[in-house]
Every structure is written in structure tokens, then in C-alpha cells.
Amino acid sequence: MTVITSQAPAARGGIAGSVRDSLVVAKRNLIRMTRIPEVVLFGLIQPVMFVILFTYVFGGSIQVGGSTSASVYKNFLMAGIFAQTVTFATAGAGAGIADDMHKGLVDRFRSLPMARGAVLTGRTLADLVQTALIILVLSIVAVLVGWRIHNGVGNMFAAFGLLLLLGYAFSWIGALIGLVVRTPEAATSGGLIWLFPVTFVSNAFVSTQGMTPWLRHIAEWNPFSATVQACRKLFGNPGVSDSGAWPMQHPVWASLIWSVLIIVVFRTLAVRRYRSATS
């Protein structure tokens, strides 16, 4: 050690530096996933279990578009399960970030000359990769139980794109929760609890038509419902709501707008929180 002056190059400012740092952190989180494959595995088992349970337990009893056929419900359900899966995967972001804070890694990152939002962006990007993997596996399982698309591959990828965007948006909410609650245990449960009302007060598992008017109103404006409706439309699956609510009429736009809005708001809040984070 004879070098007195710092060898650290000047921090690249701006977007290029931010992207690079985010990718370095994302890589770190992806390596972690390969070292703890159980986490990814459980992330896969849960939605597969939901598909099987909903299909065989509820299928046949729930009316979709005037039919109680199990096959119709199966095809109705899949968009809901996809959307639920991408949102539930976000609880991991919160737990991961809370864990980093707890272990002192966030302190270390904050003492480095790196882009401020990169630790969080890197984590959410890694989660996005995991989510994409889960969607892939889940869609294979879905086909195996009888799910079909009718509007072509292009529309299918558009639907998957919307799902990933929704998942990415929600992982910023998870990140904020992780920063606020500060312990990994609290982040795991705190990151899941709020997802139940969000995913159930929606069009994901049943049609909103049977809900009391005020609840139905909430369900139809739920960002989650917009994505589900958009996916049903793009997949050509049954049960597309003919409600007059704007997000139900323009689900693709509504889904895009909601997701971008969530990213903007929650990324801002999370990064601000991160900057003053104390473990």
C-alpha cells in the first residue's frame, strides 16, 4: 500500500452511470438467486399450486359469461393467476432489501461512489428476471391443464410485457416496504398482506359483476384489474368485462398508465427513503 491518492475514477454521473451500477447490483442479486435456488423454486410452486387448486376446486362452480364449465373458468382464471404471480413475487424485493439493511450491506453501498438508486433498481431488475422465468414455467403448466390463447403470439407477448411491467411496478412498492420496516421477517409478511385485498378485490378470480356497487367500483379501477382485463383481451380468453368503467374499456392503456405511475411514485419514495436509510 503505497498509493496515497485515491484510485477511484470520477463517478460517471447521469443515466449511463446509473444503468451500469444498477446492472452490477442486478448481477449480484441474480448470482444470489442461483445460490439459494429454494427461493426461486418456492416462487414457482406457489402459482402452480394456485392454478391447480383454483381450476379443480372452483372450476365448475363459478359462472363466467353465463357458463359454469370448468374449461371456461380455467381459461378465464389464467390471466388472473399470471397477474397475481407477478405481484406476489414482489414481496421478495422488500425482504431482500430489508435483509441488506439488516446485515449492513446498505451502509456499505451508501458509502460507495455509486448511483443513488442503483441498489434498489438492481434488486428490482433481478426480480424482473425471476418473474419472467416464473411466467415461462407457469404458462407451460397452464397449457398442460388446458389453457389456450386465440389472438396470436404477438398479442401473447404484449400481454406478458404488461404483466412484467406490472410486476416491476409492484416490486418498487415492495422495495419501499422493505426500507420502511427494516427487518427481513417483517418485510416478508408486510410485503404480502396488502397483496391479498389488491388481488382479490379485482376481476382476477371472479367477475366483478356480482360485487356490491362500491366494491365493484374499486375492483374496476384497481390497477391490477386493468392488467388482468388487458391480458384476457390479448390472450382471447373468456370473461372480458363489458363494464363501462374507463380502465375496463381501455385496459391496455390503463394497465400501462397505472404501472408507469406506480413506478414513478414509488421509485421516488423508495430512493428518497434509501438515501437516509439507517440500519
Partner 1 sequence: MPGAIYAEGLVKTFGDVRALDGVDLDVPEGTVLGLLGPNGAGKTTAVRVLTTLLRPDSGRAVVAGIDVLKRPNDVRRSIGLSGQFAAVDEYLTGRENLRMMGQLYQLSARRAKARADELLERFHLADAGDRTTKTYSGGMRRRLDLAAALVVSPPVMFMDEPTTGLDPRNRQQLWSIIQELVAGGTTLLLTTQYLEEADNLAHEIAVVDHGSVIARGTSDELKARTGGERVEVVVHEQGDIATARSVLSGFGKSGSVTGEAAVTVEQHIRRLTVPVSGGAKLLAEVIRELDARGIEIDDIGLRRPTLDDVFLSLTGHAAEDAATDADAGKNGGTGGTEGGGDGAGRGPGAAGASGEAARGGGSTPGGTRSGSQRSGARGSAQGEETAE
Note the residues at the interface with partner 1 (CB under 8 A): 1-12, 17, 20-21, 24-25, 27-28, 31-32, 35-36, 103-105, 107-114, 118, 276, 278
Phi, psi dihedrals of residue 265, rounded to the nearest 5°: -65, -50
Nearest distance, CB of residue 29 and partner 1, angstroms = 9
The residue behind cell 422488500 is 94
Contact 271, 117 (CB under 8 A): yes
Question: What is the CA 236 to chain-centroid distance, rounded?
Answer: 22
Provide the terminal-to-terminal Cα distance of the chain, rounded to the nearest Å. 31
CA separation for the pair 138, 82 (Å, rounded): 8
Question: Which residue's CB is nearer to partner 1, number 42 or number 253?
Answer: 42
Nearest distance, CB of residue 277 and partner 1, angstroms = 9
CA distances from 12 to 21, 113, 159, 177 (A): 10, 9, 36, 29
Nearest distance, CB of residue 33 and partner 1, angstroms = 9
Question: Which residue's CB is nearer to partner 1, number 5 or number 61?
Answer: 5
Nearest distance, CB of residue 192 and partner 1, angstroms = 22
* Three-state DSSP class for residue 60: coil
* Three-state DSSP class for residue 67: strand
Question: Which residue's CB is nearer to partner 1, number 101 or number 206?
Answer: 101
Question: Which residue's CB is nearer to partner 1, number 12 or number 217?
Answer: 12
Question: Which residue's CB is nearer to partner 1, number 33 or number 138?
Answer: 33
DSSP assignment letter at 4: -
Q: Who's near 215: CB < 8 A, 6+ residues apart?
A: 201
Contact 25, 119 (CB under 8 A): yes
Query: For the chain, give me the number of helices (H) and strands (E)?
Result: 13, 0
Nearest distance, CB of residue 110 and partner 1, angstroms = 5
Nearest distance, CB of residue 88 and partner 1, angstroms = 22
Nearest distance, CB of residue 121 and partner 1, angstroms = 13
Question: Which residue's CB is nearer to partner 1, number 127 or number 220?
Answer: 127
Question: Which residue's CB is nearer to partner 1, number 2 or number 212?
Answer: 2
